[in-house]
Amino acid sequence: MDEIKLRYGVNPHQSSARASVPEGSLPFKVIAGSPGYVNLLDALNSWQLVREMKEMTGLPSAASFKHVSPAGAATGLPLSPELAESCFVKAADLSPLATAYVRARGADRLASFGDWIALSDTVDESTAKVISREVSDGCIAPGYEPAALKLLQAKKNGTYPVLELDPSYRPPEIEARQVFGVTLEQARNNTLITPALLDKVVTAKKQIPDEARTNMLVATLALKYTQSNSVCVAYDGQVIGMGAGQQSRIACTRIACAKADKWLLRLHPGVRGLDFKKGTSRTEKANAIDLYLEEDATEAEVTAWKLNFNTVPVPLTREEKQEWLARFDGVALSSDAFIPFRDNIDRAARSGVRYVVQTGGSSRDEGIIRAADEYGMVMVFTGLRLFHH
């Protein structure tokens, strides 16, 4: 048996925590810091996501994980000037892997505060520089360049957890977990997310452009490693809104679409041009922008975010927001199980969703298809449920 002691369990009072394999060696090694139980849950789930995303797209990939679900996941597609400005970076300074993490972190900067980072490729200095300036709990990757490792080993005065995982490792076909003294076993979810999943188009509109196809696959793959119920919205090769772990699917859709709306609205010239006071940190800017775009912000919250600006900005009207959101084409939404009611489609349409991926198989499928047709959406049935618990 190979094992390591962990800092603590799910909570600090849960001691005697360890990670082990009954035979052979652990598939990772700790090269800095000391991970905890939740760190490893995030690390091992997020690594699987970025490995599969790299295999699916051929691009460097990254994930920003919080509480065993991706707050963001992305490929290393180049950043537009507008997106680079929205993410508070200079695109020219970034490698493709660093770009992937900037995108993943930028999907939901509030949720990604204190994230676990997963990277599909050997970490270069460019990526390590991005990580070194962000508040995060650790990272996992298949390797690290010496200059990158030096930067990461200095983070948090040397306590920042850095894990190196053997990319050739494949787990056993049967997985087990123990709950309340009872061991549960099942076959591992080895189903691959491939373009063939999108073959069954059920709406009147059939055509799926390549960019939209990529977004549909990225959203669906992200759901494979998201706590269920879950709904994901993707655009431009990355997650832009994740609604995870809700008991009702409409709650998942509302959360995912609300986050996607804010991601898209952050590209608005009025938001990119906000006049922040000198010395305002990236975290403070992200919080202020979130509240600036929040229609239901309290009086106290409004008073707080206004303090970050030299000139107090006039909030965008609902009409201005909808006009901006209508500019985007190729926004995709994926659901980890069938969509039971059309309210999910109605909400998705308000966020510019034009491509929908779902399992199908509900008694209300015909009504859901009609709703998608009313909005001119393309909808596919995969026949594949992707619950993850």
Instruction: Write out the catalytic residue numbers.
Output: 66-67, 229, 389
Alpha carbons 83 and 89: distance in angstroms, whole number: 9
- CA angle 86/90/96 to nearest 5° reads 100
Token code pair at residue 240:
């832009």
Sign of CA dihedral 360, 363, 368, 373: positive
Cα 16 to chain centroid distance, Å, stands at 31
Please give the C-alpha separations between residue 49 and each of 1, 27, 74, in angstroms, as whole numbers: 27, 16, 10
Alpha carbons 162 and 167: distance in angstroms, whole number: 15
Alpha carbons 220 and 236: distance in angstroms, whole number: 14
Which among 51, 46, 219 has a CA at the least distance from the CA of 136?
46
CA dihedral 381, 386, 387, 388 (to 10 degrees): -160
